[in-house]
Structure 1
Amino acid sequence: MTALRYLNAKLAQQIDEELMSAARAFSLDQLMELAGLACAQALATAYTREKHPRVLVCCGPGNQGGDGLVAARHLGMFGYKPTIWYPKPGSKDIYKRLQQQCTNMKIPTLDNTPDNQSLRTALASSDVILDAIFGFSFQPPVRAPFDAALPLIAQSGLPIVSVDIPSGWNVERGNVDGVGLNPDVLVSLTAPKEGVREFAGRHFLGGRFVPKSLEEKFALNLPEYPGFAQIVELPRVNESSDAQKL
């Protein structure tokens, strides 16, 4: 079987742009909706609402944060109790609408407080974290207010589910600066990124929106999604290595 392709930042950006081109005809709203649904489904697969009902959804100001807002809404629909930490809201209309949709679902958004006190309080009363802070376009250093928040999230002891690339990681070289989160679960979108080749936790792929023609053009070699699921679980790193030895 041909190996799944891992993407560098340039290629990931190129695929996103092509998906939203006139030829492929996807809108940003559509892609965020499908990505956010996949993230919510992955979290629900890894952490049941019976044992992990309280989800802290941490959102950045870009498209990654938009995916997180969509996921929060779906998690609320799934019966979880999400809370949103969104200290630097995106300024575009799409982010305002996504946040309003969450407000309409009575999903609370934390107030910004000095010394991240609201975040500290939320971490103490949550069961699992959805990390939707930084995406594949992240460039160091980590700036305020996230520079102080990432260590708090990392030190919380809570399980973390990261969207596409763990926040603080270099998209091609991984957690080379040592400032990124170390999630237990990763949900790669469209195709996994180069920096997560050695990710050892549970790894899901979400992106059941890539047209076959686009998959073939970029030789993505995507796995088959089961049934009507929006995600497919990828083999763990050690499992892949063992398979290659056989």
Structure 2
Amino acid sequence: MALKTLAPAKAADLDKELMSSGGFSLDQLMELAGLSVAEAAYRVHPPSKGKSVLVACGPGNNGGDGLVAARHLHHFGYKPTIYYPVPSKPELFVGLQKQLKSLSITFTEDFHSSMKSTDFIIDAIFGFSFKPPVREPFPSVVEALAETSKPVLSVDSPSCWDVEGGPPKEGELGAKFMPPYLISLTAPKPSIRFYKGTHFVGGRFLSEDMAQKYDLTVPDYQGVDQIVEAPVDAPGGEKL
């Protein structure tokens, strides 16, 4: 199956249309996206491999996806820890934090210490709207993600990558960051052409009509699956 990429501007337009004529609310889309992230984590790192999961969340919607994923992972039998140093103030994000705290899920201010004791890491720091440079307090986190031997699943794009241009240049922060797992939400982003690892597509909410309008292909989801594995093997990044 050929999966076309979705540029950042088009991705933003698609989200707006999904929340207008598509009839979705932001929390619905975030819930479905976070569920996809949790399912991808379960697929590559089931609890039998280690239940401790460190979820690094940024201040935007990508971070919200991570918060939702952490809740699902808790119910899947994991023990998530949340690193959320710049919490968002809108009611939706406050509610997500309350949900996690009601489950006694730990929030940490020390990513590096938490990383030493975790079995798996979810990188939900920056999404498709990210533009370099990486700002505090995240540079040291990105550096740690690039250097760790722990398995990492990045959400939508490896944090610090330019969503169209790909990884930073040699010598720049995060130049060597190549997480073993990546889940693209709705559709792969252009930087996927630089990615080498196991790649999933998730976010099972796109209608055939909406996909046709944005020149996308709806992945062949099976049964109740919220994700589908999509090999990265196309030159130029236009299709997978």
TM-score relative to the length of structure 1: 0.90
Report the AA paired with residue 96 of structure 1. V
8 Å contact 2:178–2:195 — kept in the other structure?
no
1:221 Cα deviation after fit: 1.6
Counterpart of 2:114 in structure 1: which amino acid? A
After TM superposition, give the deviation of residue 156 of structure 1 in Å: 2.4
The partner residue of 2:192 within 187, 190, 196 is 196
Matched, 1:101 2:99: yes
- C-alpha distance 198-140 of structure 1, shift in aligned 2 (>3 A): closer
**Counterpart Cα distance in 2 of 1:74 and 1:233:** 20
Q: How many residues align?
A: 231
Q: Does 1:214 find its partner at 2:178? A: no
1:123 is aligned to 2:119? no
Task: Report the Cα offset of residue 179 of structure 1.
Answer: 2.7
Does the 8 Å CA contact 1:131/1:166 hold for their aligned counterparts? yes
Deviation string 1:53-75 (CA, Å, 9 cap, x unpaired) is 11000000100000000000000
Q: After superposition, what is the alpha-carbon deviation per residue over 1:146-198, rounded to whole angstroms, capped at 9, x for unaligned?
A: 01221123222211100011101111111034433321100100000001123
In the alignment, the residues of structure 1 paired with residue 232 and residue 59 of structure 2 have an alpha-carbon distance, to the nearest angstrom, of 31
1:234 aligned to which of 226, 230, 234? 230
- TM-score for the superposition, normalised by structure 2: 0.92
Q: Given that residues 123 and 153 in structure 1 are in contact (C-alpha distance below 8 angstroms), is that contact kept between their aligned partners in structure 2?
A: no
- 1:138 alignment partner AA: F
Partner AA of 1:7 in structure 2: L
How far did 1:129 drift? 0.4
Q: CA deviation at 1:207?
A: 1.4
* Backbone CA RMSD of aligned residues: 1.3
Call closer, same or farther: CA 1:198–1:155 in 2, change over 3 Å: closer
Preserved contact between residue 200 and residue 229 of structure 2 (Cα < 8 Å): yes
Matched, 1:141 2:133: yes
**Quick check: 1:205 aligned with 2:205?**
no
| 3-state SS, counterpart of residue 183 of structure 1 | coil
Give the aligned residue type for 1:16: D
Which residue number corresponds to residue 11 of structure 1?
10
- 2:85 corresponds to: 87
What's the CA shift for 1:7? 1.2
Tell me if the contact between 2:31 and 2:68 (Cα under 8 Å) persists in the aligned partners: yes
Please give the residue correspondences for 1:42-191 in structure 2 after superposition, counting only pairs within 5 Å. 42-110=40-108, 112=109, 118-177=110-169, 178-180=172-174, 181-191=177-187
The answer on whether the counterparts of 2:131 and 2:162 sit within 8 Å (CA) in structure 1 is yes
Deviating beyond 4 angstroms after TM superposition, the runs of 4 or more aligned structure 1 residues are none
Q: 1:126 Cα shift? A: 0.2
**Tell me, what secondary structure is at the counterpart of 2:178?**
coil
